[in-house]
Structure 1
């Protein structure tokens, strides 16, 4: 796997959101994804309809065994406005990201290990998966900054 460092502008999303623990994610997230797919057409101002995003936001001092995290699946929009009822909006600020094409469930651990062994450190407590429906790829992205 090749890790790339890319600079991204702000990513503004409208979609569906839930709170879940890692233990419940296997049940809750597929249902959330199905709900999003059913309602995606309601979202106005899409930037690229072939791309969807999944953002996992961990609380500070996240304990993987017990803590809930926020999960958002959405599509990028030009501006966050006209939010359909029951949907959520989220904006990821401009950042430098460590990116790798996702191949399996171990990709997350691979990228985390790469960041920890590199000149970078995690800059925030979230990760992004960029789903490209045209290419059939998923890119995992961690916001990073150079270590002091």
Structure 2
């Protein structure tokens, strides 16, 4: 699977969030949240890039994917958090180094990227995860959550593995 390693500066985001399990993701809870967000997106002021929407999944410590909830956030980047629409939340993504993978097809294909990252990529490379989150970027290549023609980038925060002493 192809990847690239990049540095990204801090981002301020405004959008909607909910806590979900992987089973609820399969039941379209995150897709429904995304649809709700898209219907309200125009309420957000100070948007930096109107072509990008960010989906941020944040795991709790000691996350168990079979049972635990994680936070799913969907929103856009802004240059100021001074005007947050009613019932929306803000999120700050720190500056970091990221490994970026792209996947094609429906949103359910993201699971293959996660599987590859944890079962192969982290073992074969000199990096480890440096955060409990990942970011999906939906831009002009994203044609919808069910489209075979969609292309989505997933960013995972990383840092060099620390040497054993």
Considering the TM-score relative to the shorter chain, is it more than 0.5?
yes
Question: Over the residues paired in the alignment, what is the CA RMSD in angstroms?
Answer: 1.1
Deviation at 1:138, TM superposition (A): 1.2
Structure 1 residues without counterparts, runs of 5 or longer: none
Structure 1 outlier segments of 4+, above 4 Å: none
TM-score by length of 2: 0.85
Distance, in Å, in 2 between the alignment partners of 1:21 and 1:127 is 15
- Within the alignment, does 1:17 sit opposite 2:24 as a pair? no
Deviation at 1:115, TM superposition (A): 2.5
Structure 2 residues without counterparts, runs of 5 or longer: 143-150
Larger Rg: 2
Alignment match, 1:90: 91
**1:35-54 CA distance string (max 9 Å, x none):** 00000000001111100000
Alignment match, 1:147: 161
Instruction: Decide which structure has greater strand share.
Output: 1
What is the total number of aligned residue pairs between the two structures? Answer: 147
Alignment match, 2:44: 43
Deviation at 1:107, TM superposition (A): 1.7
Q: Which of residues 137, 156, 160 is equivalent to 1:130?
A: 137
Distance, in Å, in 2 between the alignment partners of 1:6 and 1:52 is 19
TM-score by length of 1: 0.94
Alignment match, 1:119: 126
